[in-house]
């Protein structure tokens, strides 16, 4: 029988929780998944993580690593039927070194993204990763899920920010890959294996991340457009016209904005209502670049040719924050409306209008009147294709599975993916087996088995 006594002795009362004291760690953010663990380990350093892993190996216990537990696919909680522990990095929150010469920062895996932003900002640096959960998301979890966010178009996903890693392997050995190097091609890029592995290969404990000079100026606008095709063309024009200064392109529909304003007391940002809105932001770390003039000149051309029907350029920091709040709070508006189905997919940018039209039509065929709220990252093709029941209905009438299958199938048919930035967790394993090539899934299983032959690391996740 599993024995919690060695964990209690190793970690003490601050580092081991059982029963009711573990409740905040055992269910996922959407409260769909989570089995009761033997307990929750909260080690204070890499040495304790390694010791916990050895204890689990001795007792044959599964280990589910957990960061901020803000994932949407049940990847950071114990799977049903698994006998094991949750290993939370919540106490490993030290920012170990900020190097303004190398433009790197070394952190423990439990550092919260917002806290890292604050610390880097004090040094005139930034980590170009921004997402709605940054007040709770932790660095280890962001790496393990290969998080994306609103600036991936310009700077890449989390894997692009990772230079080096330290990780504890399933048998308790510590891999020290904390090399702060941009160039290191001495064999397999092992750090990349852990980006997106969702805790199935080991526990990330420390990371060396790339930083960049913090922006000293930003220019932000919110535009009204006649349709998504016009938004895609406007985005392509802005990329040509503003070059490396373009840092974000975000889109959302009138439905999403209307749901938000129905439930959250925010002002409507532009007078002209349109089917589609486009948030544009330029940023630079070079003083005196005149970003507002550059953006306004580009927007004037778009207005003249008719691809943009209205818009507002933020004149103050408060206006910029208000524009971003609209985009970031969109999921909250739909959540308060009631039942919803979330889909995190991506297609090539040029095929976004085709996908949204086809998926919307397919959803309406399955459930007439279903409300479609596609929003996301125009610059990289990631769209959160979220659905609400028809007006006046409380649910989807048992059709949620059919609706989701149609959306995912069409994303793949359009050359895209059924998982853009939320990962697979335990909710999308069957989808991955159905929609990804068998050879690809076999390679993933082989890699997992090579590092975790007993299958104890986050079982029933990813593969």
β-bridge pairing 95-99 and 104-108: antiparallel
Give the Cα separation of 409 and 385 in Å (integer).
13
The pLDDT score that the predictor gives to residue 377 is 94
Flag whether 159 is in a domain.
yes
Mark which of 337, 372, 387 sits at the end of a domain.
337
Q: Do 320 and 353 sit in the same domain of this protein?
A: no
Q: Do 203 and 245 sit in the same domain of this protein?
A: no
How many domains are contained in the chain?
Answer: 4
According to DSSP, the residues that pair with 162 across neighbouring strands are 209
Contact 276, 234 (CB under 8 A): no
Q: At 166, phi and psi to the nearest 5? A: -115, 135
Mark which of 301, 317, 337 sits at the end of a domain.
337
Give the Cα separation of 318 and 302 in Å (integer).
25
Residue 96 makes CB contacts below 8 A (sequence gap 6+) with: 106, 107, 108, 206
Q: At 18, phi and psi to the nearest 5? A: -135, 160
Looking up residue 230, the CATH number of its domain turns out to be 3.30.70.2190
Q: Do 221 and 332 sit in the same domain of this protein?
A: yes
Q: Which two tokens stand for residue 424?
A: 């697979």
Flag whether 458 is in a domain.
no
Q: Do 292 and 382 sit in the same domain of this protein?
A: no
Q: Do 227 and 304 sit in the same domain of this protein?
A: yes
For the entire predicted model, the pTM comes to: 0.92
The pLDDT score that the predictor gives to residue 7 is 97
Q: Do 108 and 180 sit in the same domain of this protein?
A: yes
DSSP 199: T
The pLDDT score that the predictor gives to residue 349 is 97
Neighbour tally for 262: CB within 10 Å? 11
Looking up residue 134, the CATH number of its domain turns out to be 3.30.465.10
Q: At 107, phi and psi to the nearest 5? A: -135, 160
Contact 245, 338 (CB under 8 A): no
Give the Cα separation of 166 and 143 in Å (integer).
12
Q: Do 293 and 344 sit in the same domain of this protein?
A: no
Flag whether 446 is in a domain.
no
Contact 141, 423 (CB under 8 A): no
Give the Cα separation of 22 and 454 in Å (integer).
26
Contact 326, 269 (CB under 8 A): yes
Flag whether 442 is in a domain.
no
- Look-up of token digits 């050359």: 415
- Provide block-wise average pLDDT over 10 residues at a time, the chain (463 residues): 94 95 88 90 98 97 94 88 95 97 97 97 94 90 90 88 97 96 91 96 98 96 96 96 95 96 92 93 95 95 90 93 92 94 96 98 98 95 97 96 97 95 89 94 96 95 91
The pLDDT score that the predictor gives to residue 73 is 85
Show the domain range for 417. Answer: 338-423
Q: Do 79 and 137 sit in the same domain of this protein?
A: no
β-bridge pairing 125-126 and 104-108: unpaired
Residue 314 makes CB contacts below 8 A (sequence gap 6+) with: 219, 220, 221, 320, 322, 323
Flag whether 463 is in a domain.
no
Q: Do 185 and 108 sit in the same domain of this protein?
A: yes
Residue 82 makes CB contacts below 8 A (sequence gap 6+) with: 35, 62, 64, 459, 460
Give the Cα separation of 46 and 44 in Å (integer).
7
The pLDDT score that the predictor gives to residue 70 is 85
Contact 136, 188 (CB under 8 A): no
Neighbour tally for 450: CB within 10 Å? 9
């Amino acid at each position: 029988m599993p024995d919690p006594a060695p964990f209690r002795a190793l970690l003490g009362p601050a580092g081991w929780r059982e029963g009711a004291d573990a409740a905040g760690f055992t269910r996922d953010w959407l409260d769909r998944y989570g089995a009761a663990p033997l307990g929750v380990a909260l080690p204070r350093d890499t040495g304790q993580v390694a010791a916990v892993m050895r204890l689990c190996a001795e007792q044959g216990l599964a280990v589910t690593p957990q960061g901020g537990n803000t994932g949407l696919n049940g990847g950071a909680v114990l799977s049903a039927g698994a006998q094991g522990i949750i290993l939370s990095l919540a106490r490993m929150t030290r920012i170990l070194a900020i190097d303004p010469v190398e433009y790197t920062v070394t952190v423990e895996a439990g550092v919260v993204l917002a806290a890292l932003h604050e610390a880097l900002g004090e040094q005139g640096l930034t980590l170009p990763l921004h997402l709605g959960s940054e007040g709770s998301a932790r660095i280890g979890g962001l790496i393990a899920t290969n998080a994306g966010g609103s600036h991936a178009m310009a700077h890449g996903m989390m894997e692009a920010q990772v230079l080096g890693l330290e990780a504890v392997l399933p048998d308790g050995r510590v891999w020290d890959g904390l090399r702060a190097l941009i160039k290191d091609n001495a064999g397999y890029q092992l750090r990349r294996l852990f980006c997106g592995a969702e805790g199935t290969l080991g526990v990330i404990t420390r990371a060396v991340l790339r930083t960049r000079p913090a922006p000293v100026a930003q220019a932000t606008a919110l535009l009204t457009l006649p349709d998504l095709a016009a938004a895609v063309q406007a985005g392509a024009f802005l990329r040509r016209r503003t070059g490396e200064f373009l840092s974000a392109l975000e889109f959302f529909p009138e439905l999403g904005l209307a749901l938000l304003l129905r439930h959250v007391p925010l002002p409507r940002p532009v007078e002209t209502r349109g089917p589609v809105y486009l948030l544009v932001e330029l940023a630079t770390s070079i003083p005196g670049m005149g970003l507002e003039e550059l953006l306004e000149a580009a927007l004037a051309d778009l207005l003249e040719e008719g691809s943009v029907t209205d818009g507002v350029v933020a004149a103050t920091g408060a206006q910029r924050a208000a524009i971003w709040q609209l985009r970031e709070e969109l999921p909250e508006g739909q959540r308060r409306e009631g039942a919803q189905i979330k889909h995190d997919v991506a297609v090539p940018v040029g095929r976004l209008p085709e996908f949204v039209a086809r998926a919307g039509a397919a959803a309406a065929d399955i459930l007439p009147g279903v409300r479609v709220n596609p929003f996301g990252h125009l610059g990289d093709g990631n769209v959160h294709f979220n659905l609400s029941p028809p007006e006046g209905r409380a649910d989807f009438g048992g059709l949620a599975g059919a609706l989701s299958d149609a959306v995912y199938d069409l994303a793949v048919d359009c050359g895209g993916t059924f998982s853009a930035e939320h990962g697979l967790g335990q909710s999308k394993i069957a989808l991955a087996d159905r929609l990804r090539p068998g050879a690809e899934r076999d390679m993933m299983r082989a890699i997992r088995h090579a590092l975790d032959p007993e299958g104890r690391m986050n079982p029933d996740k990813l593969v």
